[in-house]
Amino acid sequence: MNRIPVTSATSPAGVEVCDEKRSWPYIVPFATLMLFLGLGGILPGGVPWSYPLRTVAVATVLLVCSRHLIRLRPSRGLLSVLMGVAVFAIWIAPGLLWPGYRHNWLFENPLFHRAGSGAPQAGWWFLAIRAGGSVLLVPIVEELFWRAWLMRWLVSHKFHEVPLGYYAAQAFWISALLFASEHGIYWDVGLAAGLAYNWWMVRTKSLADCILAHAVTNACLAAYVLLAGRWEYWL
């Protein structure tokens, strides 16, 4: 069994910091994002108005609670870009190679809603906010939660003593499976993406590289949705 390298468990002032308090900056932005996703159908004006509200709320929480955790200087920038493009290719490949691939009980069942296909009934402002949020905001929020926190918390509840990118098979697979479940009808490619991002975190030990890879994937997907009209990829 691998031993976990121990890091300091105290604040700069030498005062022990509660483990739960250490978790909040990683969790709260993601929880805010999930809350607005759940409320999207009941907010005034329906789904289109939920996106600007969600974007402002999540960005505010991120800046207030988590800005000290964010590092945006990747150590393997080009490789992270290529990783992001590869995950995008994996994401759209089943639908391109096998039209109607998702129209079976594995995907369209009581657990997951049916994939949409029509363009959203909103103007350019909705598309700009939707694309911008998916590229600039979502990767930071999700990588903080899934790779920087959960992968380590599953190893030890004193996750701050577990280095970024520490590999433990159980944590690696559980976090990838939960990441897949977040993506509903796209759980299969979500699992592949989760495994790829987890592997990249283990490989690079860098939150910034994982954020960059995730942002590139989302940017490619946004461009594909807008240029090809494949609106079903925007749940």
Q: How far is CA 124 from CA 62, 127, 130, 132, in A?
A: 25, 5, 10, 12
Q: What is the pLDDT of residues 61-109, one digit of tens each?
A: 999 999 999 988 999 999 999 999 999 999 999 989 988 888 887 887 7
* Distance separating alpha carbons of residues 8 and 154, to the nearest angstrom: 19
With residue 226 as reference, give the H or E element that holds it: helix 207-228
* Distance separating alpha carbons of residues 214 and 143, to the nearest angstrom: 8
Maximum Cα–Cα distance for the chain, whole Å?
Answer: 59
SS3 235: coil
* Distance separating alpha carbons of residues 116 and 139, to the nearest angstrom: 23
Q: What share of the chain is helix, strand, coil (3-state, %, to 5)?
A: 65, 0, 30
pLDDT at 40: 60
Boundaries of every domain in the chain: 19-233
Instruction: Walk along the chain (235 residues) and give the pLDDT tens digit of each residue.
Output: 455 655 444 444 443 455 678 999 999 999 999 988 777 655 555 555 677 888 999 999 999 999 999 988 999 999 999 999 999 999 999 989 988 888 887 887 777 765 555 566 567 888 888 899 999 999 999 999 999 999 999 999 999 999 999 999 999 999 999 999 999 899 999 999 999 999 999 999 999 999 999 999 999 999 999 998 888 888 6
* Distance separating alpha carbons of residues 105 and 109, to the nearest angstrom: 5
* Distance separating alpha carbons of residues 235 and 227, to the nearest angstrom: 17
Nearest to 193 by CA among 205, 203, 181: 181
pLDDT at 109: 77
* Distance separating alpha carbons of residues 215 and 1, to the nearest angstrom: 34
Q: Say if pTM beats, i.e. exceeds, 0.75.
A: yes
* Distance separating alpha carbons of residues 164 and 38, to the nearest angstrom: 30
Please answer whether residues 219 and 213 qualify as being in contact, where contact means their C-beta atoms are separated by less than 8 angstroms.
no
